[in-house]
């Protein structure tokens, strides 16, 4: 299973807030088992999407110097189930940001309807601590997450003098 639970960023304000979207496709593997004949998006994967959006938001605030680790979900309220075919909007906002940790408030909406509220707490591991714990593997901002970060940067912070190209994941005009 691919571990990427947001599709792209549609807004991004450095160190403050971000908005990402996630389309729910019936073809996603987990819907076959969660649950057979009654496909709903698992709450834990929605929280993971909020953590990915929030983690990129706070990771970017210090140029991805530290590894951002989901440490705690302070609270999570699920107002209703979400089903294949829906488009989820994930809004994340920095509540606290310090050198060693950050808190992000997350909200998921479908259209105007609020479906999830959660508070996500991240710990930052500096390179030496991360190397000690994870033997130097850069496991956070790699692979598909890195692609997402690169697309976000290209869309919202294109290098000076470069015209913003549309690209496959560009935000709609």
Q: Which positions are catalytic?
A: 34
Closest CA to 51 of 145, 142, 134: 145
Interface with other proteins (CB under 8 A), residue from 11, 45, 76, 101: 101
- CB-wise, 99 or 144, nearer to other proteins? 99
Q: Taking CB under 8 A as the rule, does residue 74 contact other proteins?
A: yes
Q: Taking CB under 8 A as the rule, does residue 95 contact other proteins?
A: yes
Q: For residues 131 and 148, what is the distance between their CA atoms, to the nearest angstrom? A: 24
Residues 108-167, interacting with other proteins (CB under 8 A): 121, 123
Q: Taking CB under 8 A as the rule, does residue 96 contact other proteins?
A: yes
Q: For residues 74 and 161, what is the distance between their CA atoms, to the nearest angstrom? A: 42
How many residues line the site for other proteins (CB under 8 A)? 13
Q: Please give the C-alpha separations between residue 124 and each of 9, 50, 61, in angstroms, as whole numbers.
A: 22, 17, 12
Pairing of strands 113-125, 67-78: antiparallel
Q: Taking CB under 8 A as the rule, does residue 73 contact other proteins?
A: no
Q: Taking CB under 8 A as the rule, does residue 98 contact other proteins?
A: yes
Residues 6+ apart with CB under 8 A from 98: none
Summarize as ranges the residues that interact with other proteins (CB under 8 A).
71-72, 74-75, 95-96, 98-101, 103, 121, 123
């Amino acid at each position: 299973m691919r571990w990427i639970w947001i599709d792209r960023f549609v807004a991004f304000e450095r160190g403050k807030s971000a908005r990402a979207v996630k389309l729910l496709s019936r073809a996603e593997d987990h819907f076959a088992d969660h649950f057979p004949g009654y496909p709903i998006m698992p709450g834990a994967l929605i929280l993971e999407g909020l953590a990915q959006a929030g983690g990129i938001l706070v990771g970017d605030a210090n140029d991805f110097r530290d590894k951002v680790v989901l440490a705690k979900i302070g609270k999570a309220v699920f107002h209703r189930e979400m089903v294949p075919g829906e488009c989820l909007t994930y809004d994340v906002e920095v509540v606290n940001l310090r050198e060693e940790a950050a808190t992000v408030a997350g909200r998921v909406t479908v259209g105007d309807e609020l479906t999830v509220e959660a508070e996500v707490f991240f710990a930052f591991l500096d390179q030496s601590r991360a190397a000690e714990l994870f033997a130097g593997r850069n496991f956070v901002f790699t692979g598909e997450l890195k692609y997402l970060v690169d697309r976000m940067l290209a869309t919202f912070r294109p290098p000076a003098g470069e015209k913003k190209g549309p690209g496959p994941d560009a935000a709609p005009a």
